[in-house]
Amino acid sequence: MTTKKDSRDRARRRMAERMASIQEREKANEADLAVVFDAAEARTRAERQHAAALAAAEQELTRVSEHIDATRAAACARMRGRGETVDSIAELTGEAAGEIRKILKTSGDAAANSAAEHATSVARAGNTVTMKSGSAAVRGSDAIDSASVETSEQ
């Protein structure tokens, strides 16, 4: 027969075992929770790095594309300057004539700006110059501070 004291001791042992089991489970949960938090932080860092890499790649693409477009426009402008028609440039390049006109307009703007800057510096030096670049004619003289740019359609 069991005494009251034996029953209480037995109950205490079972409660202690239960508490030990609960403490082990809580420690395991705490460790796993730390892993979850670390993983979330690692993911946030990875997403930030990804966004930064994408932004850098976009900037590089923009820079390279602008250079390629300028190179392409300058080449078309040089062909136009040597007397090629828009249609013949379109035929040679395989581009539509409208696209060639758009490219030439862009290159004309760039060439005119470049020529205007040069004419202005020549004019400030006391010289008079008339230049043609593609379809843009630029005139400078010592009487002006900036060059005037005239665009003629050929």
Return d(Cα 109, Cα 136) in angstroms, integer.
8
Please say if the pLDDT value at position 14 is more than 70.
yes
Spatial separation of the C-alpha atoms in residues 25 and 48, rounded to whole Å:
35
The pLDDT tens digits of the residues spanning 91-122 come to 999 999 999 999 999 876 555 444 444 444 44
- pLDDT tens readout for residues 61-94: 999 999 999 999 999 999 999 999 999 999 999 9
**Is 153 a residue whose pLDDT tops 60?**
no
pLDDT of residue 116: 44
Do the strands 136-140 and 148-151 form a parallel or antiparallel pair, or are they unpaired? antiparallel
Task: Note the Cα 5 to chain centre separation in Å.
Answer: 80
Give per-residue pLDDT as tens, 40-50. Answer: 999 999 999 99
Task: Give me the residue spans of the domains in the chain.
Answer: 4-151
Q: How many CB atoms lie within 10 A of CB 1?
A: 3
Per-residue model confidence (pLDDT) at position 134 = 42
pLDDT at 146: 35
CA dist., res. 68 & res. 43, Å (int): 37
Q: Which pLDDT score, from 0 to 100, does residue 34 have?
A: 97
Give the predicted TM-score (pTM) of the model.
Answer: 0.49
pLDDT value at residue 107: 77
